[in-house]
Structure 1
Amino acid sequence: MTIDKLSKLMTDDAILAELGFRMARCRIDRQLTQAALAHQAGVSKRTVERIEAGASAQMVSVIRICRVLDLVAGIDQWIPQPDLRPMDLVARKGRTRQRASSSRKTQGADEPWTWDP
């Protein structure tokens, strides 16, 4: 069973299972056994088995497997390069943001204003 498109409504386990299924299909399409893929990627066969079964894995293991399966370019679609808007660069004098700021909550936004006794 394969899903055409991953959705934010899916559970983490469902996404992991789908990604594992897709990796297994790529491996099989390339005529690689789990042992051969593991050897070429520098990971254990058990790691390949776990990933294909939808278990969580270390990111470096996933990247190594993606490299062997020629899927590294697809990672760029997972996490695209952030767009830098020209006006933001001008406002920050060419510097990029290093931290995210917390949202500022206005007093009384959640409840009506009352006198403090």
Structure 2
Amino acid sequence: MKISPTMPENVMLSELGKRAQQYRVGMNLTQGELAKNAGVSQRTIERLENGSSVQLEKMLRILRALRLSDNLDQLIPETSIRPIQLVGSKSEVRHRSYKRRSTAPKGQNSGWVWGDKK
């Protein structure tokens, strides 16, 4: 089954668990052997394969033991500077989001009123 953005999280976890189990079996490893190689408990492997949530650090260890950690780069790709940001600016890499603030000074009416107060 293909994982899609509209899937509920529990379905995604279940599908990831099934895939992890298929990789483990394909490598001819028991849950105990994978747990030992990953440095996690066997119960963690069981939870993952049953579609339950596991801690991110433990998931990363399991992916490394399954030789799947090279694929993590696709999970959150590196950002690059957009060409429009380079045009005529000395901008640095952004570290925070920015929301435009209202230009009206505090306490002044912006011109908008509720329908019953007109």
Structure 1 residues 85 and 49 mapped into 2: Cα distance closer, same or farther (>3 Å)? same
**Cα drift, residue 8 of structure 1:** 1.2
User: Corresponding residue for 2:98?
Assistant: 101
Count matched residues: 110
What's the Cα RMSD here? 2.6
TM-score by length of 2: 0.80
- What amino acid is aligned across from residue 68 of structure 1 in structure 2? A
Matched, 1:26 2:15: no
TM-score by length of 1: 0.80
1:51-84 deviations in whole A, cap 9, x for unaligned? 1111011100000000011101111112111232
Rg bigger for which structure?
Answer: 2
- What amino acid is aligned across from residue 51 of structure 1 in structure 2? L
1:11-34 deviations in whole A, cap 9, x for unaligned? 000000000100110010001110
Unaligned runs of 5+ in 2: 104-111
* Cα distance in 2 for residues equivalent to 1:9 and 1:45: 31
- What amino acid is aligned across from residue 66 of structure 1 in structure 2? L
Matched, 1:85 2:78: no
Unaligned runs of 5+ in 1: 107-112
Structure 1 residues 114 and 15 mapped into 2: Cα distance closer, same or farther (>3 Å)? same
User: Corresponding residue for 1:71?
Assistant: 68
Question: Percent of aligned pairs with the same residue?
Answer: 43
Judge conservation of contact 1:89–1:95 (CA < 8 Å) in 2: no
